[in-house]
Amino acid sequence: MTNPTDTAHQAWNDAWRSPERRAAWETPAPDVAALAEELRRRDGFRRMLDVGCGVGRHALLGARLGFEVVATDLAEAGIAELARKAAAEGLGIATRIAPITALPFAEAAFDFVLAFNVVYHGDGAIVAAALAEIGRVLRPGGVVQATMLSKRNVLFGQGSEVAADTFVNTAGSDKMHPHFYCNAAELVALLRGFELLSLQDIDHTGRGHWHWHLVAERAARAPE
């Protein structure tokens, strides 16, 4: 039976079929572009995984920079759009349709994992499982860049609470599927097994849409 808090891909699959809705998600985020460029200049950063890639704005960015990129998503329309764009540019991006909680890759397979606006699509158990999977496929010393929803966000607490700190809001927002919110202490606790390098609470729109932006390194030793 499908977990009722793991349904975001269904809404996004519909969104990615629309050119108008795709347009807002085709420009790489500046902080992702900056970190990707920095990491690509370092020794040992060759393989990149874009988890929940959507229509592929960051996977395409990584491939243009010279990363060997793999991109995953459960929304097939997004994967199809990414494949079309990659082919048009002659970029070799491997794609897989897979959930964030069960990544189909070997342990320590990637140097850089990106999970931008995706991990919080579910409840706390899904978030914890997704972060554990990211840690599993990231090599020791590898870097993850991700976003999470802050409890400062104006939408925190709005709609129906379907699990602890997890809300569905059907009142004219994109939160009609479950979204998980956390504060700084809760986020740090979720990042067990990582060394946190950077954490910022950023208002994406200037209207109270606060998101955590984090960069962390996989610890050399597994958490006890």
List, as one string, the DSSP characters of 175-193: -SS-EEEE-HHHHHHHTTT
Q: Where are the alpha helices (DSSP H) in the chain?
A: 8-16, 19-23, 30-40, 57-65, 76-89, 124-137, 184-190
d(CA 137, CA 156): 31
Each residue of 82-125: pLDDT tens digit?
999 999 999 999 999 999 999 999 999 999 999 999 999 999 99
Q: How far is it, in rounded angstroms, from Cα 209 to Cα 68?
A: 33
How big, in percent rounded to 5, are the helix, strand and coil portions of the chain? 30, 30, 40
**What is the distance between the alpha carbons of residues 141 and 112, in angstroms, rounded to a whole number?**
9
Q: By percentage, how much of the chain surpasses pLDDT 90?
A: 79
What's the Cα-to-Cα distance from 153 to each of 34, 188, 190, rounded to whole Å? Answer: 25, 18, 19
> If one looks up domain 8-218 in CATH, what number appears?
3.40.50.150
**Confidence grade of residue 13 (pLDDT, cut at 50, 70, 90):** low
pLDDT score, position 136: 98
The one-letter amino acid at 9 = H
Q: Distance (Å, rounded) from C-alpha 88 to C-alpha 91?
A: 8
pLDDT in tens, 82-94: 999 999 999 999 9
**In the chain, domain spans:** 8-218
pLDDT of 222 > 60? The answer is no
